[in-house]
Structure 1
Amino acid sequence: MQGINFVAIDFETATGKHASICEAGICVVRDGEIAETRSWLVRPQGNMYSYWNMQIHGIRPNDTIHSPEFPEVWAEICGYLKDIPVLVAHNAAFDMGCIRHSLELYGMEKPDITYYCSLLAARRLYSFGCNSLDYLCDQFKIPYGQHHRAGDDAEMCARLFLREIKDFGLCGLEEMKHYCGKL
């Protein structure tokens, strides 16, 4: 898949607020191959967590008390986006909302980035009754680590999106224009 380059991204939040990121994960894809997967624990503002969010991802205030806040982690992520200014997320509306709200919270500038949504593509391409990331990965035997941990979910998303491109019979990201937007 020469020329297929993107950064799959995933966030976990500490509360129901989009700007309460407590973990960020990325998976870098170069020429259609997984090149690198990373994740960062992030200290949300006030390091406050809701019971329900902790039940989903298992991250607790003690895990992030000494972690960097969003601006520091975002600066590292932007280092990857300089070379590949294309994001992919499963349910991109959520993840792009996390970025937008966090940038606003910290008074940071919004970069010019294109994003694609693997969930929207899955809904169009497949006829499963469920299109959750873990369900789709199970259907296609895409390996994954711990669901609802940002690095693992970012890599699952990257592998799913590569499968979707293949299943659509496409040659490049520009052909996925129905599933993209601007940050």
Structure 2
Amino acid sequence: MQGLNFIAIDFETATGKRASICEAGICIVYEGKIAKTCSWLVRPQGNYYNYWNMRLHGIGPKDTKDSPEFPEVWAEISDYLKDCPVLVSHNAAFDMGCIRHSLELYGLEKPDVTYYCSLRAARRIYDFDCNTLDFLCNQFEIPCGQHHRAGNDAEMCARLFLREIRDAGYCELEEMNYCNGRL
């Protein structure tokens, strides 16, 4: 899949608020291949967590007390976006909401980015009763790291989206216009 470049992204949150990011993960796809996966623990504002979120991802205040806040992590992610302003996430409504709310909270400028949603793509391409990231990855024997850890989920999403593009018979992202939007 030459020319196929995107950055899969995933966030974990400390509370029900989208701007409470406690972990960010990206997986860079270059020329249709996984090039690099990164993740960062992020100190949410006030370093406050609720029980249910901690139970889901296993991250808590002790893990992030010395971590950078969102603006510092976003600066690193933005460096990657300069070369490839295309994001992919599984349930983009959640992850793009995390970005929008966090940018607003910290008074940061919103970049000009196109995004694609692997969940919306799966619902259109496949006929499964369940379309969660871990379920789909299990169906297609895509390696799963620790689910609900941002770096692992970003890479799982990248691998799933590459599969979806192949299964849909596409060779360019623009052909997946039914599952995209603008940040």
Please give the range of the TM-score, normalised by the shorter of the 2 chains: over 0.9
Identity score, percent: 77
- Aligned partner of residue 162 in structure 1, secondary structure: helix
- The normalised TM-score by structure 1 is 1.00
In the TM superposition, what whole-angstrom CA distance separates every residue of 1:19-46 from its partner, at most 9, and x where no partner exists? 0000000000000000000000000000
Gap regions ≥5 residues in structure 1: none
- Aligned partner of residue 144 in structure 2, secondary structure: coil
| AA partner of residue 110 (structure 2) | K
Cα distance in 2, alignment partners of residues 112 and 46 from structure 1:
29
Q: CA deviation at 1:150?
A: 0.0
Cα distance in 2, alignment partners of residues 178 and 120 from structure 1:
8
Cα distance in 1, alignment partners of residues 2 and 88 from structure 2:
17
Cα distance in 2, alignment partners of residues 90 and 16 from structure 1:
18
Tell me which residue corresponds to 2:2.
2
Q: CA deviation at 1:63?
A: 0.2
Tell me which residue corresponds to 1:80.
80
Q: CA deviation at 1:144?
A: 1.4
Gap regions ≥5 residues in structure 2: none
Tell me which residue corresponds to 1:126.
126
Tell me which residue corresponds to 1:51.
51
1:156 matched to 2:156: yes
1:32 matched to 2:32: yes
1:61 matched to 2:61: yes
- The normalised TM-score by structure 2 is 1.00
| AA partner of residue 147 (structure 2) | H
In the TM superposition, what whole-angstrom CA distance separates every residue of 1:119-146 from its partner, at most 9, and x where no partner exists? 0000000000000000000000000110
Q: Tell me the number of residue pairs that the alignment of Structure 1 and Structure 2 aligns.
A: 183
Cα distance in 2, alignment partners of residues 151 and 172 from structure 1:
25
Cα distance in 1, alignment partners of residues 25 and 109 from structure 2:
20
Cα distance in 1, alignment partners of residues 171 and 21 from structure 2:
34
